[in-house]
Structure 1
Amino acid sequence: MSATRQAAIGKPLPSFKAPSTQGEISPESLRGKAAVLYFYPKDNTPGCTTEAQDFRDHYQDFLAAHCQVVGISRDSLKSHASFTEKQSLPFPLISDDDETLCSKFNVIKMKNMYGKQVRGIERSTFLVDANGVLVQEWRGLRVPGHVNEVLQAVRGIA
């Protein structure tokens, strides 16, 4: 596999095509509106469920600020479809089961889980402007208050 360009602040998103619960998503499909791409470890886990609910509960505020929301994890589309239905999520979830996007955004980290080292997604959020340029990122974040912080940043670029 050839070297792939990684996402970087001030640069256009690297090229990708990814399956989601609402069809294929690419940087081109996101253009014209700002976009929040949030990476989370796993469907139906407590922190990830709370984060998805927070984005869901503020979704109309993001739309009003001309911003789309996209969740990304390594879960399958089937898992995403179930999670979407259970949580009434109005935005797409990308299945990155081969870790292509995780690599491009450098979100795979070694984490401690029950005393063991495991490879997993570091909870991270990326804000992209309407021209497809990465303008802000949050890494290793905590869920409480995060969606409000992202929404304020979105309003700042609108």
Structure 2
Amino acid sequence: MTKRPTVLSTLLLATLALAASACGNEQKSAPSAAPTTKPAAAAENPHAAEVESLKPGDPAPDVDLKLQDGKEVKLSSLSGKQVLVYFYPKDDTPGCTVEAQGLRDGWEAIQAAGLEVYGVSTQDADSHKAFIDKHKLPFPLVVDTDGSVTRAFRVPMRGSYAARQSFLVGKDGKIKQVWLEVDPKEHAATVIAAAKS
């Protein structure tokens, strides 16, 4: 006679699966170089399938970016510049750290490409400040505790974490490139190449 899983063991397995989907376990697929409109993580977020992802040519959402130092930047005020708005699950976790360090290490090339960078996650200002200080990040992080910026960019949520997706906004204020799947190790080089194109 086989044993049926208890409610407690089922809940424990579900909790462990959610934790693993944050930054500790990386996606194995290659980064999406070509834009796609297929929503990511639809299975993990039943509402993701209801909203089509932003795509190149769409106007960038005109959001207010609340930074870790208390300053606010309206995205439309950056018109005339290329802007990377990248979403990541959680400060100071393995994949998110690799991604942020890659952008940090490529900072000279990023500046030469005329690119501004804003990282977005749902942690608070203190968490963002600690992440910036620990890894000497040269770019600001957006405090999106209410998820408003994440929703504006139509990024799926996985529990309380934003999916790892990135958007390159062109000088004209329109989306130039979208990455719905991101390889943290290669993302900086991919973004720099797109900004130069």
Return the TM-score normalized by structure 2.
0.68
How do 1:44-83 residues align onto structure 2 when only pairs under 5 Å count? 44-83=92-131
Structure 1 gap ranges (5+): 1-5, 111-117
State the 4+ residue runs in structure 1 displaced beyond 2 angstroms: 6-9
Counterpart amino acid of 1:32? G
Q: Does 142-151 or 79-88 show the bigger shift?
A: 142-151
Larger C-alpha radius of gyration, 1 or 2? 2
Within 2, Cα distance between the matches of 1:29 and 1:91? 17
Within 2, Cα distance between the matches of 1:73 and 1:83? 12
User: Percent sequence identity over matched residues?
Assistant: 36
Structure 2 residue 82 is the aligned partner of structure 1 residue 34: yes
Query: 2:164, 2:182 within 8 Å by CA — same for their partners in 1?
Result: yes
What are the Cα deviations for residues 25-77 of structure 1, in whole angstroms up to 9, with x where unaligned? 21223222101111000001000011000001111111111111110000101
Query: 2:54, 2:178 within 8 Å by CA — same for their partners in 1?
Result: no
Structure 2 residue 149 is the aligned partner of structure 1 residue 149: no
Query: 2:90, 2:161 within 8 Å by CA — same for their partners in 1?
Result: no
How do 1:8-19 residues align onto structure 2 when only pairs under 5 Å count? 8-19=55-66
Within 2, Cα distance between the matches of 1:30 and 1:56? 21
From 84, 89, 105, the counterpart of 2:132: 84
Higher share in strand: 1
1:140 to partner: Cα distance:
2.4
1:122 to partner: Cα distance:
1.2
Within 1, Cα distance between the matches of 2:104 and 2:83? 14
Query: 2:122, 2:145 within 8 Å by CA — same for their partners in 1?
Result: yes
1:119 to partner: Cα distance:
4.8
Counterpart amino acid of 2:62? S
From 171, 180, 196, the counterpart of 1:139: 180
Structure 2 gap ranges (5+): 1-52
Query: Matched residue pairs, number?
Result: 144
Within 2, Cα distance between the matches of 1:109 and 1:77? 20
How do 1:114-125 residues align onto structure 2 when only pairs under 5 Å count? 118-125=159-166
**Aligned Cα root-mean-square deviation (Å):** 1.6
Residue 169 of structure 2 is matched in structure 1 by 128
